[in-house]
Chain A
Amino acid sequence: MTIDWWTLGLQTVNVMLLVWLLGRFFWRPVSAMIEQRRVTAQQILTDAEGKRNQASAALAEIEQTRAGFVKEREAILAAAHEAAERAKAASIEDAASKANSLEAAAKLAIEKEKIDAEKAWADRASQLAVEIAGRLIERLDGDAVRTAFLEWLLKEIRALPEAVRHAAIGKGVTLKAVTATPLTTANQEHYRTQIGEAFGASPEISFKTDPNLIAGLELHGSHLIVSNSWRADLAKILEDVTHDSRP
């Protein structure tokens, strides 16, 4: 066995050349590609990590915003609740005021109705009294009643002051004698004489009939009115009664 040194050298050169060529055209490009992929993957991972951090930050911000929403919602609810409470209190106060007003108005109305009712009942009572008096007077003797009223009238005239009597029968004055029922001529003359004597003169007297007097004899002059009738008496009584019944 011998070694051919030329062949040994040639194969050495061949293998060295192969090492260089494969290093140039195979190992370096492939390893560069692997490294490039590793760097790219690392970059993608870094980017992904960055995006994940951004997403986490965005999520935290959203959580914070949502927490703000909750606080804002609570504040809005509290404000709404407070406004509702205020509106409720205002409504209650308004309702109470209206109720008080209505109550006062109702009280006034009731009082007014009560007064009106009392007045109506008083009127009704007076009417009833007048009616009763009228019915009673119808059963009395007419002459006696007229005489009584004439006497009362004469008494009233005589009770007047002298100056008033003279003023009442002044010159040109016509007195008006009002009765509930018509008088006969004789009665009129009798009345005229009696009244003239009461005045101490002979005044002009005319006669008039007013059934509303119920019964009585009144004398109306320009400066004098002598109310001498049941109507006047009842009116006075009614006035007194009404005055007494008022608080």
Chain B
Amino acid sequence: MNSPLDSIALFHFGPIPITAGVIATWVIMAILIIGAILVTRHMTLIPSSCQAAIELMVDTIDGQIRDTMQVSPAPYRSFIGTLFVFIFVANWSSLAPGVEPPTANLETDAALALLVFIAVISFGVRASGVRGYLATFAYPNPVMIPLNFIESLTRTFSMLVRLFGNVMSGVLVISIVLSLAGFLVPIPLMALDLLTGAVQAYIFAVLAMVFIAGAVSEDIHPAKTGNKRNSS
């Protein structure tokens, strides 16, 4: 029996192993991109029901960014929104028979956490410059530099572990119950898994916003970020 923590390569593309999680990721990417193209193809000022729902979702994400980061949502909308949508859809992809959520694989969650880590640095440097961003590690005083540096790594790792643990555990529990109790019995656990998946997507996005906001916050370097935001 294979460990649920291991990713089995379905085939190799050169040196790159193509796992089920990667395939599922591609499928989800295709669905999201094609769906985005379709729903944004005929947008009008007087929206249809579908367009109104999409705009409501975008507006809600903008509101979350605005409330959490206290900044204009435009520069962060694509990254935060895509994280939330991808994780949400990936978590809920377990509804399809035979599909294992990509987020149940350690590499996918690690990739997401890595992107958040890179995004924090990127947005921080963009908002404050390299010196300004590095100065955030000395906040509130230089003694905190080692702790802040370790925190930036551990919080990224915690995101990885949190998402992976929740999703993988849900999949594992459902698999065990399904193998033991048979048909219909895992349904409550699957519903719980859907709720967990939605909550984890939200938590992951909110944590990403909080970490990015910590790097671009005006409380740490108000003058530079203020100018940057005005120019944006």
Contact = CB atoms under 8 A, between A and B. Distances in A.
A18 B32 contact: yes
Contact of B19 (A7, A16, A23, A27): A7
B128 interface: no
Contacts of B47: 33
Given A1-B3, A21-B33, A8 B114 contact: yes
Contact of B107 (A7, A18, A27): A7
A28 interface: yes
Given A6-B15, A29-B40, A31-B77, A23 B82 contact: yes
B21 interface: yes
B150 interface: no
Nearest to B61: A27
Given A6-B15, A10-B16, A22-B78, A15 B43 contact: no
Interface residues of B, number: 48
Interface stretch (A34-42, A98-106, A138-146): A34-42
Contacts of B51: 33
Contact of B22 (A10, A18, A23): A10
Contacts of A8: 107, 110-111, 114
A26 interface: yes
Contacts, number: 121
A34 B55 contact: yes
Nearest to A8: B107
Chain A contact surface mostly: helix
B6 interface: yes
A30 B61 CA distance: 12
Interface in B105-121: 105-108, 110-112, 114-115
Interface residues of A, number: 33
Contacts of B180: none
Nearest to B16: A6
Most buried by B among A1, A7, A9, A14: A7
A153 B196 CA distance: 175
Contacts of B62: 31
A143 B3 CA distance: 200
A25 to B, nearest CB: 5
A11 B36 contact: no
A245 interface: no
A1 B5 CA distance: 6
A11 B15 CA distance: 15
Given A11-B111, A36-B45, A30 B58 contact: yes
A11 B29 contact: no
Interface of B: 3, 5-7, 9, 15-17, 19, 21-22, 25-26, 29, 32-33, 36-37, 39-40, 43, 45, 47, 51, 54-55, 58-59, 62, 74, 77-79, 81-83, 85-86, 102, 105-108, 110-112, 114-115
Given A10-B107, A17-B29, 6 more contacts: A4-B107, A11-B22, A30-B40, A30-B55, A31-B62, A33-B45
